[in-house]
Amino acid sequence: MKKLLPALLTGLFLAHAAVPAHAFLGFNLGSDSADNKDNPTPGGAGPDGAVDASPKLETCDKPFGTLAVSEPQDYVGQALMSYGLPSPVGLIRMMIQQSNCFVVVERGRAMKNLMQERELAGSGMLRSNSNMGGGQMVTADFVLTPDVVFSNKDAGGIGGALGGLGGRWGAVAGLVAGGLKFKEAQTSMLLADARSSLQVAAAQGTAKKTDWALGGILGGGGAVGALGAYENTAEGKVVAASFLDNWNNIVRSIRGNPQLARTQIDLRDESSKPARAGAVFEEGDVLSGKIGGLKIYASPNKSAKVVATLPRGEEVVFTGKEKDGFLSVEGNDGAGWVDKNMVRRN
């Protein structure tokens, strides 16, 4: 047995030395390849909607509101890193955007950079008219928390037999044994209302991958060091498929509940007109004009009819409606709209 196995391995290396590894894995390189069906979460998403999304992805007619995806707990990140996989947040966010069930807001690692820009604006370091300040960020209506667990069978069998050879064949066994395991990824997602903190949905997902053939693992142009990248790709597909199954279960659990809708928002409209920075007012705030004789308009437009003027020091109440840089207010002389930049909170 000890004489047979080294000969077998040597023959496999020589036979496949000139053939690219991906040829034995059954997939083409690049997202624009003619056959990208091995990728469980292909395509992309933008203001115009999903692009080449998986046909297995569940979708919604319109968004329920905005959603932030939280980073998994540290132990999840460590488990993923053990397979050379990064945080799954980017993958999950793409699936969510493709599904059209929520508009995704940034609350991840890039949030630090967003806040840094606002700090620079506050310090006066940015150019004038940079339009960077308060009242621009969109509120997250919901928060999604993902989790993932790997389940692997015993690494014995061929890997164990190779390990008993010692020397360089033992080193090879250490690399290929993991690829001979039966793999399963189990994921979970919790969806919570950001305002009430109520958990509104919970679901699990799962995906499995059968063992790869020995020839496919060893046929990498003679470069055993490339096995790590191959293993990462295989595990990545399992995790992606599990999260796809998981998100589909979330969608199925909420899609028939229109009462969960929190915000009417359209990504294409929102992205086409940058929000103006300015003070943030809440419904019921008491406001007064920065100048005497402030005009109150019948509609949110300076060409609209003037229904009243606000003397200096006179107060009005903000009704909670804001449109095109105007605030809806009520006062002693009636109701109307005032220029947001011309009032202050008392």
Question: What are the distances in angstroms from CA 317 to CA 277, 283, 311, 335?
Answer: 21, 8, 14, 9
332 and 254 share one domain: no
84 and 51 share one domain: yes
Helices (H), the chain: 4-15, 21-25, 74-81, 89-99, 111-122, 158-163, 167-176, 214-218, 227-254, 267-272
Whether 272 is in a domain gets the answer no
Which tens digits make up the pLDDT trace of 168-213? 433 333 333 444 343 688 999 999 999 999 999 999 999 886 433 3
What is the structure's pLDDT at 1? 54
129 and 176 share one domain: yes
102 and 228 share one domain: yes
The residue among 224 and 88 whose pLDDT is bigger is 88
247 and 296 share one domain: no
The residue among 339 and 77 whose pLDDT is bigger is 339
Q: Mean pLDDT across the stretch 261-283?
A: 81
141 and 184 share one domain: yes
Query: Model confidence at 251, in pLDDT bands (50, 70, 90)?
Result: very high
What is the structure's pLDDT at 196? 96
Least confidently predicted of 233-237, 277-281, 284-288: 233-237
Structure tokens at 33: 């390849």
Whether 306 is in a domain gets the answer yes
Q: Interhelix angle for 4-15 vs 167-176, to 10°?
A: 60
245 and 294 share one domain: no
Q: Is the pLDDT of residue 45 over 60?
A: yes
Q: What residue type is assigned to position 201 of the chain? A: A
Q: Is the pLDDT of residue 78 over 70?
A: yes
In 3-state terms, what secondary structure has residue 146?
Answer: strand
Domain boundary among the residues 228, 260, 292 is at 260
Query: Model confidence at 293, in pLDDT bands (50, 70, 90)?
Result: very high
Structure tokens at 87: 């945080």
239 and 133 share one domain: yes
Which tens digits make up the pLDDT trace of 103-159? 999 998 888 888 888 888 888 888 887 888 777 888 999 999 999 887 765 444 333
207 and 338 share one domain: no
254 and 315 share one domain: no
What is the structure's pLDDT at 118? 84
Which tens digits make up the pLDDT trace of 29-40? 344 444 445 666
Q: Mean pLDDT across the stretch 69-79?
A: 89
Question: Could you list the residue range(s) of the whole structural domain that residue 224 is in?
Answer: 4-260
Whether 88 is in a domain gets the answer yes
C-beta of residue 60 within 8 angstroms of C-beta of residue 101: yes
Structure tokens at 62: 């319109």
Q: Structural domain tally of the chain?
A: 2
CATH value at residue 294: 2.30.30.40
Q: Is the pLDDT of residue 167 over 90?
A: no
